[in-house]
A and B are shown apart, each in its own frame.
Chain A
Amino acid sequence: AQSVAQPEDQVNVAEGNPLTVKCTYSVSGNPYLFWYVQYPNRGLQFLLKYITGDNLVKGSYGFEAEFNKSQTSFHLKKPSALVSDSALYFCAASPRGANNLFFGTGTRLTVIP
């Protein structure tokens, strides 16, 4: 079965510190990989995606993600966290040529002032 795992339900980080939100995937082929963010009572907002090329992908709001094929991981990172980054983050994968996204269960990020 195809799946995406986010091993941490909750990540707490102090404002100004670097943050990492972990994601691993088990999806056939070389899937497209995505990170989305969800604020309360809102839909999902796209942060970044990996299609091919450089393993470090840069996205919106200063976020970046590191793709590691051997570990089938796609961890989300930011060098310096802001209180406004506090939200629910979802990792997703889509098999190439397919038409749907497989989502992880989400990680709630709390940035402490």
Chain B
Amino acid sequence: ETGVTQSPTHLIKTRGQQVTLRCSSQSGHNTVSWYQQALGQGPQFIFQYYREEENGRGNFPPRFSGLQFPNYSSELNVNALELDDSALYLCASSPRLADNEQFFGPGTRLTVL
């Protein structure tokens, strides 16, 4: 059974650019959540997707957007990058919407210069 995978591993962008991060959920999981983990902090919830629709959002501006595809993989898009967007972005999948046990990927380290 393949776990949650994320790509790329590392990414460097400049302020004002746009970025797309990708996540493949664990086999059989239909729910994907995205978290931002700034240096020295705990992860913060960005949003969750269930069966291709957004199902909850944290306190992040609209320039953070996402997609979920029919195979339950997901993308996180961030427009107009700011320096404070530099963080580890974690994707987590769950087998069921009501199951709060989430399985995390290794993350994508985004650096904004």
Contacts and interface: CB of A to CB of B under 8 A. Distances in A.
Contacts of A43: 4, 6, 90, 104-107
Interface string B54-79: 01101000000000000000000000
Contacts of B95: none
B104 A100 contact: no
B48 A99 contact: yes
Nearest to B3: A43
A100 B105 contact: no
A100 B43 contact: no
Interface string B26-53: 0000010101000011111100101000
Interface stretch (A14-22, A60-68, A73-81, A103-111): A103-111
Given A43-B106, A44-B90, A100 B45 contact: yes
Nearest to A91: B42
Interface in A33-48: 34, 36, 41-46
B113 to A, nearest CB: 20
B102 A101 contact: yes
Interface size range of chain B in the complex:
20 to 34
A25 interface: no
Contacts of A99: 31, 33, 48, 50, 55-56, 97, 100
Contacts of A49: 100-101
A101 B45 contact: yes
A101 B41 contact: no
A44 B48 contact: no
B48 A41 contact: no
B25 to A, nearest CB: 13
A34 B16 CA distance: 36
A104 B50 CA distance: 25
B84 to A, nearest CB: 17
Given A43-B105, A101-B100, 5 more contacts: A42-B106, A43-B107, A45-B104, A100-B45, A100-B58
13 contacts: A4-B42, A34-B101, A43-B90, A43-B105, A45-B104, A90-B43, A94-B100, A99-B31, A99-B100, A101-B33, A101-B45, A102-B45, A105-B40
